[in-house]
Amino acid sequence: MEVSKLNYYFTGILIVLFVLLAFMKPAYPGSTQTNVSGSNTAIEGGYTSTATTTYQSGSSSNSTTNSTTNSNTKSAPPSASSPAYNSMTQDVCAVGGSLGVQTFGLGISGGKHFVDKNCERLKLARILNDFGMKVAAVAILCQDERVFESMIQAGTPCPIDGKIGKEAKQLWGKYDHERPDYNTYVKRMEDRRKADEAEQKRITEEMAAMDAAKAKEDNKKANAEKMKNWKHPR
């Protein structure tokens, strides 16, 4: 039961996070860099290079080179790390859970402590047993449906209203809705009812087939007797 609640909590958190991420517009930090003639120097604007050469014969050569390169670099923001949660001490029945989601535009993380009910039952049962309250220790363990079912299967039903043994079994039969495994119990009883009906149907069909075979055999004998009397009348 506690694990299911934990799963529900995390599922709800994930749904909320994905909804937020769907409506968030990613923010990309951009930069503009201009490279000239293989240089890695950032230059704003275009670059123009002009060269003039004059030869002794009086002829001249002019060359002009224009080069502009723009690039946008998109990088992710720092990761949103989920916090670490521990149980702090060994005698605390609490477990930590954390979750984090990171995209280019948004990062969210969080965590929470959850109480382990099964751990609490074990500690309480151990303390009650140390105090000599053995029936009470068994009763608190029986709050777990697995323990309750195992006690029923062993023929030693869990205590109820101060009753144990056969008296407890009668009360559990009367107030079966109070069983911790009630849903499982109802399903098992329904499956058994279907199995019993199927078995009864099979037995009925077998009996009907046996009766039909017997009637056929009796009819065959009666016909044989009639033929015998017809061939050899008295």
Average the pLDDT over 144-167 and give the result: 93
Query: Which of 2-11, 40-49, 70-79, 90-99 reaches the highest mean pLDDT?
Result: 90-99
Better-predicted residue by pLDDT, 99 or 53: 99
Whole-number Å distance between alpha carbons of 166 and 180: 19
Average the pLDDT over 170-175 and give the result: 93
- The neighbouring-strand residues paired with 160 are 163
Instruction: Write down the pLDDT at residue 224.
Output: 76
- The neighbouring-strand residues paired with 100 are 109
pTM check: above 0.75: no
Instruction: Write down the pLDDT at residue 216.
Output: 86
Question: Is the distance from CB of 99 to CB of 13 less than 8 angstroms?
Answer: yes
The full set of domain ranges for the chain reads: 2-24+83-115, 119-180, 186-228
- Give Cα separations from 172 to 135, 147, 152, 193, 204 (angstroms): 16, 15, 10, 19, 34
Instruction: Write down the pLDDT at residue 35.
Output: 41
- Give Cα separations from 230 to 53, 161, 216, 225, 226 (angstroms): 145, 80, 21, 9, 6
- The neighbouring-strand residues paired with 50 are 64
Instruction: Write down the pLDDT at residue 204.
Output: 92
